[in-house]
Amino acid sequence: MIRGDKIKFSIIVPAYNVAQYIEECVESVLNQDYDNYEVIVVDDGATDETPQIIDSLAQKSEKVKVIHQENGGLSAARNSGIEEANGDYIIFLDGDDFWSSQSFLNDINNRLNENSVDVIIYSYSYHYTDKIAKKTISNKGLSGNIKKDCTDLVKRELITAPAWNKCVKRTLFVDGSLDFQVGFLSEDCLWCANLLKLMTSYAVFDNAQYMYRQNRAGSITNVVKEKNVLDILKSISIGLDNIEKLPFEKQEALKVYFAISYISILPFVHLYKNNFDIKNYLTNYEYLLQYSRQIENKSFKYTGLVAKGIGVEKAAALFNKLLGLYKKFKG
């Protein structure tokens, strides 16, 4: 890329104590066969060798920009990257993940040349130490029109919470509407709902080149904490506030989206049954279970239908017991 050229992609990499993985992550971007991009690596107050590694990478390539800041969490790190981004499109890449193909950006760029959409949703792969499992997606049968398709995109799990499987036009971020909620765990839940509210066009790319690393020691995604549960319920409350101002199609899509979010925490809420706020949110949004029938994922669908049938409190206790037996059996 020649200095002064307009940048097409800003890749934002939040990095906290990922010294074992961050070089592979950033190198997977620098090895791309497409040239018009910048990499913004945000050191979120890491206490391991992460800061030194990313500084070294920045010295080797002018494409790498480094931000060092006090620890503020994943949302704060991503927001810092967004503020510094100059690209037409923003892509998030977590510091312990990587892209498996050198053609990733070129493939995305080709899709955008075909159709300059607000959002490209792409598939990904679960990367285990001993295997790789692809998460495939398909837009078969969809019109390509967001107004017609938005509920189907949610029902078919094309629009799901992760920020890192989407390429998003930077203009959607400009007024702060797509900032991440600082202080929240499970921050992608609300972010993706806000994206759904704003996006006017989309495309789907089933490439599975994003490697989502599993079972990493120290990863917060390995534990569902009380705060995770509460923050998801808060996200549902915030995300559904004033949705009557949106087109009907998006209202329905958001209800299905948050029904999935609600159902996803049911196996864990029994652990925190004495938390008044959790109990209150569960009661207020129990109505979302009526959207269970629309969900294509059978696990979510039947979990929601059971909860609707026997009540959330009994269902939560049952699901927690079943989860415990599953973990015990799995070892």
pLDDT of residue 2: 40
Total domains in the chain come to 2
Which CATH number goes with the domain that contains 193?
3.90.550.10
Q: Last residue of a domain, which of 221, 244, 272?
A: 221
User: 3 lies in a domain?
Assistant: no
**Block mean pLDDT (10 aa), the chain, length 331:** 73 98 99 98 98 99 99 98 98 98 98 96 95 92 94 96 98 92 96 97 95 74 82 98 97 99 96 96 98 97 98 95 80 57
27 and 160 assigned to the same domain:
yes
Q: Are 212 and 247 contained in the same domain? A: no
One-letter amino acid identity for 34?
Answer: Y
Q: Is residue 2 part of a domain?
A: no
Q: Contact, 163 vs 125, CB < 8 A?
A: no
Query: Is 209 in the same domain as 181?
Result: yes
Question: Is the domain of 182 the same as that of 281?
Answer: no
- Does the residue 317 lie in any domain? yes
> pLDDT at position 177, please?
85
If asked whether residues 89 and 25 sit together in one domain, one would say yes
Same domain, 232 and 314: yes
Do 54 and 29 fall into the same domain? Answer: yes
Q: Is there a single domain that holds both residue 248 and residue 124?
A: no
What pTM, to 2 d.p., does this model score? 0.94
Number of separate helices (H) and strands (E) present in the chain: 12, 9
Where a domain ends, among 168, 189, 221?
A: 221
The pLDDT score that the predictor gives to residue 261 is 98
Question: In this structure, are residues 54 and 22 in contact, taking their beta carbons and an 8 Å threshold?
Answer: yes
- The answer to whether residues 234 and 129 belong to one domain is no
Q: Do 235 and 207 have their domain in common?
A: no
Same domain, 40 and 17: yes
Report pLDDT for 288.
99
Q: Same domain for 196 and 303?
A: no
Note the pLDDT of residue 219: 53
Give the count of alpha carbons within 13 A of 281, CB side only.
26
What is the C-alpha separation between 231 and 62, in angstroms, rounded?
A: 38
Last residue of a domain, one of 157, 188, 221: 221
- The answer to whether position 236 is within a domain reads yes
Which residue segment(s) compose the domain that 282 sits in? Answer: 224-330
Backbone dihedral region for residue 140 (phi beyond 0: left; psi -120 to 50: alpha; all else: beta): beta
∠ CA 309-280-323, rounded to 5°: 55
Q: How many CB atoms are located within 10 Å of the residue 2 CB?
A: 6
Contact 38, 65 (CB under 8 A): yes
Give the per-residue pLDDT at 220: 44
Examine residue 22 and state whether it is found in any structural domain, yes or no: yes
Position 216 scores a pLDDT of 66
